[in-house]
Amino acid sequence: MPHLGRRNLLKLAAGIAAWTALPSWAHKPSSGRGGARLRGAGAPHIPDGDRVLVADGNLAIGFDDQLHTRLFASNRAITGHDASEVLLGKDGDLTAFRFTGHRVESIRDPQHGKGSRHVVTGRSDTAVEKVVETTFFARHPGMAVLQVRYRNHGAQPLTVNGWRNVAHEMFDAPGGFWSFSGTTHADRRDWVRPVEKGFDQRNTLGMDAPDYGGGTPVANVWRRDVGLAVGHLEPVARLLDLPVRKTSGGATIAVESTHAATLAPGETLTTEHTFLCVHQGDHFAPLKRYRDFMVEQGLIAPVAPEAAFAPVWCAWGYGRDFTREQVLATLPKVRDLGFGWAVIDDGWQTNEGDWRLDPRKFPRGEDDMRALVRAIKGAGLRPRLWLAPLAADPGSDILHDHPEMLLLDRDGSVQKISWWNAFTQCPAYQPTVDYYVALVRKIIGDWGFDGIKFDGQHLNAVAPCYNPAHHHPRPEESCEKLADFWKAIHHAAHQANPDAVVELCPCGTAFAFHNLPATDQYPASDPTSSWQVRSKGKSMKALMGDRSSYAGDHVELSDGGKDFASSVGIGAVISTKFTWPKDTDHPSEPLPPGGLVLTPEKEALWRKWSELYRQHMLPHGEYLGSLYDIGFDRPEAHAIAKDDALYYAFYADRWDGPLELRGLAAGRYRVHDLFDDVELGKVDAQANTLHARFEHFLLLKATSIGKSA
């Protein structure tokens, strides 16, 4: 089939009158599968069934007479005409708007550069005017930015229940769909999942539970050949939903607001800036495109200090009832195994909220804490302290003395944090910010810690705050200013110590993107499986880039409690919470089978993985997330480029068959099995397949040995 031609699409995207240069489009096949295709270069007109076509070189959107739209990727329709931009009405949704006009504007945006804006207008039978602005930027091919305005031209007020943007049903295809959801679910489900029969996720960016909410505002569904991602592009967090659902004919995806409003005559409702993006491969590419766009808006990940890549040992293996003696006795073994951090976890404090030292563990108060920090540093390790800010326990002095710090719901009730049986404080109330900034300065500047681990699912997002003492202009200010709270914390830590490491672990939630630019390290955050370690890692490397630090969290949470391969192979920092020389007698949670004690067998394995990690330091490489599709490629594969080599990590319960080493440059490569330390042969870009047999994992290094003859 002939192609539409990138030149003509770029002319169209630039706002040039190139309509007559477009070839004709065929009707969608009667089978209902696959969508419309290009015919040969026949009579020049826009696709049959469309009134307007807006496009760049990768994505085309066709508007029909009702302003319903269909999407084209790789010169083929991937959806039918959907009611993609809708006003959700109290008495029924407004979905049909008679086409009234279209214009094209060339733009030069100060943040995103050159582009074209298409303005398509329509009017409903109820006198509501709809204006759809679709913007393409040359820097972001395949991505369309949409904002919609609805103006009530009627004589009566119009009550609406919200709006829906970029709503489409992708056609089904052999193999079905996979999905990524950047939103939080209280059951801590996988972010990356197959879209099977019955799949239906609301994917709210609001609160899924009193202490679970927020996330990255992107949802994605993809087939083997093409994918579609949607989301919002606002520089602050917004309370929207990104529903994904399996249908009989494919999969639906959208961005929705459920904020009710009443439009007086002459009043206009304007949606958030939303986007849709077509792509090939899995969710890595659209997440990276989202990140690149947001970087231009100032949301930039910090360059992680070198210390953020040192292996981590955490005292959580001893639980909340740890003793200083247990920690001190374990430090020599931690250092001997090559770990660089010692984390003092939950249990050092009297309660959540006051954050005073437990006198049973620190009878001399802060002098004992400073002495513990000196001992950790004396053992050749970096000390890090656990903290759960924005939590105030019943009975705490802070709750008694400053109840005005609390975040209150519409009815005046508190927001409960389940794990600690605590209440949420409002991050948008300045005295709350000042309180935690002072605490961080003490921990880093006075006590001498080199890092802080901020922990708790409640740290990802908060509910709207109605506390009258805070004088919020809107209740949603608490949600939108949580990122500012983290910026203040990050700034305070780095003022006290420029090399400090700020870790944010929102227990099991999908990380809120707007919080992450104030973070030096983000862990897998209580993974429930090795799959979560790897799929979260791929997601976070797309969102934060190669200069950031992602940690696999305690290896004891992985499959079998010893799967360091899932961290090392994807370029994650390794972490453990082993105890030594015995398990604790008073665990805070049930011990896993075999306990957490570092047995001689474990010690040999931990040492081997630590040496492999430190020898190759894959977190410093370039994660090549577009080479393999985590949903459809088998075995699961990841690749990292570092120095003159390519590293490959393959995962499967069992595998006996061919492995394709993608991404090789010109020349020959020697392939080495890192874990078993054996040579597997030589490959090049033309002959890049080798046969392998493995269980669970295979880590390979392909080293360049010169140009082919």
Q: Is the pLDDT of residue 588 over 80?
A: no
pLDDT of residue 184: 95
pLDDT in tens, 407-426: 999 999 999 999 899 999 99
H/E element, 329:
helix 324-336
The C-alpha angle 380, 596, 564, rounded to 5 degrees, equals 70
Q: Which CATH superfamily is domain 636-704 in?
A: Golgi alpha-mannosidase II (2.60.40.1180)
Contact (CB, 8 A) for 666 and 635 = no
pLDDT at 647 over 80: yes
Report the distance separating Cα 306 and Cα 310, nearest Å: 8
pLDDT tens digit sequence for 228-257 = 999 999 999 999 999 999 999 999 999 999
Integer angstrom CA distances of residue 546 from 288, 340, 500, 639, 640: 11, 21, 19, 13, 10
Q: List the domain boundaries for the chain.
A: 6-295, 306-388+433-460+477-619, 636-704
pLDDT (tens digit, 9 = 90+) per residue, 560-587?
999 999 999 999 999 999 999 999 877 7
| CA dist 341 → 369, 376, 526, 569, 637 (Å) | 17, 9, 18, 21, 29
Res 371: pLDDT: 98
pLDDT of residue 336: 98
Q: pLDDT tens digits, residue range 541-564?
A: 999 998 899 999 999 999 999 999
Map residue 156 onto helix, strand or coil: coil
Structure tokens at 482: 């949580």
Architecture (CATH level 2) of domain 6-295:
Distorted Sandwich (2.70)
**DSSP characters over 158-193:** EEEEEEEEEEEEEEP-TT-EEEEEEE--TT---SEE
Kindly tell me if the per-residue pLDDT of 148 is higher than 90.
Answer: yes
Q: Could you report the per-residue pLDDT of 591-620, keeping only the tens digit for each?
A: 888 899 999 999 999 999 999 999 999 999
Judge contact between 646 and 662, C-beta under 8 A: no
Which residues fall within 8 angstroms of residue 363, CB to CB, at 6 or more apart? none
Residue 218 CB: number of other CB atoms within 10 A?
A: 30
Specify whether the CB–CB gap between 367 and 375 falls below 8 A: no
Q: Quote the mean pLDDT of the chain.
A: 92
Per DSSP, helices labelled H in 481-571 are: 482-496, 530-544, 565-568
Residue 490, SS3?
Answer: helix
Q: What pLDDT shows up at residue 46?
A: 76
- Closest of 387, 306, 384 to residue 341, by C-alpha: 384
Share of the chain above pLDDT 90, in %: 89
**Nearest C-alpha neighbor of 540 from the set 301, 308, 221:** 301
- CATH code for the structural domain at 306-388+433-460+477-619: 3.20.20.70
Please identify which residue in the block is written with the tokens 């090392």: 568
